[in-house]
Amino acid sequence: MYQITDGWLESVIHVPSPNTDSRPKNCDISLLVIHNISLPPGIFGGSFVEDLFTNNLDLTVNPYFQNLKDLKVSCHLFIKRSGEITQFVSFNERAWHAGLSVFNGRSNCNDYSIGIELEGTDEDKYTDYQYNSLVSVTSTIMSMYPAITLDRIVGHSDISPGRKTDPGNLFDWIRYKRELNIMF
């Protein structure tokens, strides 16, 4: 398990994103949202995701990047195919990952959630390295934020149905939650 100090995981890469703001006062962190991302779509590796989350994406590198012009997004954590974890936003702050979203009748999921991006697509299986890192970091998060229970871990598609499809049908929820359940 990892350690969390002042909202930051220890022993991971820290790349602070400007795309963050304060959570509402007295807000409980009670939801974990799993996403996927690759830039350009279907291409893994490189620094494009980090560049997007830090507003440094060179829009001239790939025609697809023109679709991202003026987009200001972030997540708390990004897990690469290798299992390497980068943290962009402190858990104490609001990351801009969920957009228009609702969970159990409560809107604005960014206010009370932690967002984890997996390097991937809806059409690609995730790696064992990613599952290992995801389970470990989720276990740490659940210990620090006990309102996040197994039934409060969802995909982006669950909180933004019809608008989002990630982490996709190839994300192995059964494996992930079974491995988490073993830890708790």
pLDDT in tens, 66-122: 999 999 999 999 999 999 999 999 999 999 999 999 999 999 999 999 999 999 999
SS3 for 108? coil
CATH number at residue 51: 3.40.80.10
Amino acid at 182: I
Which residues 6+ apart lie within 8 Å of 67 measured at CB? none
What is the value of pTM for the model shown?
A: 0.97
Structural element, H or E, at residue 116: strand 113-119
Span 30-81, pLDDT tens digits: 999 999 999 999 999 999 999 999 999 999 999 999 999 999 999 999 999 9
Report the candidate in 176, 27, 159 with the shortest Cα–Cα distance to residue 103.
159
Render 14-83 in DSSP notation, one character per residue: E---SSEEEPPTT----EEEEEEE-SSTT--SSSHHHHHHTT---TTS-GGGGGGTT-----SEEE-TT-
Q: How many structural domains is the chain composed of?
A: 1
One-letter amino acid for residue 99 of the chain: G
Residue 109: give the domain boundaries.
4-183
User: Any catalytic annotation for residue 117?
Assistant: yes
pLDDT of residue 184: 63
Q: Which of 10, 50, 84, 117 is catalytic?
A: 117
Question: How far from the centroid of its chain's Cα atoms is residue 118's Cα?
Answer: 7
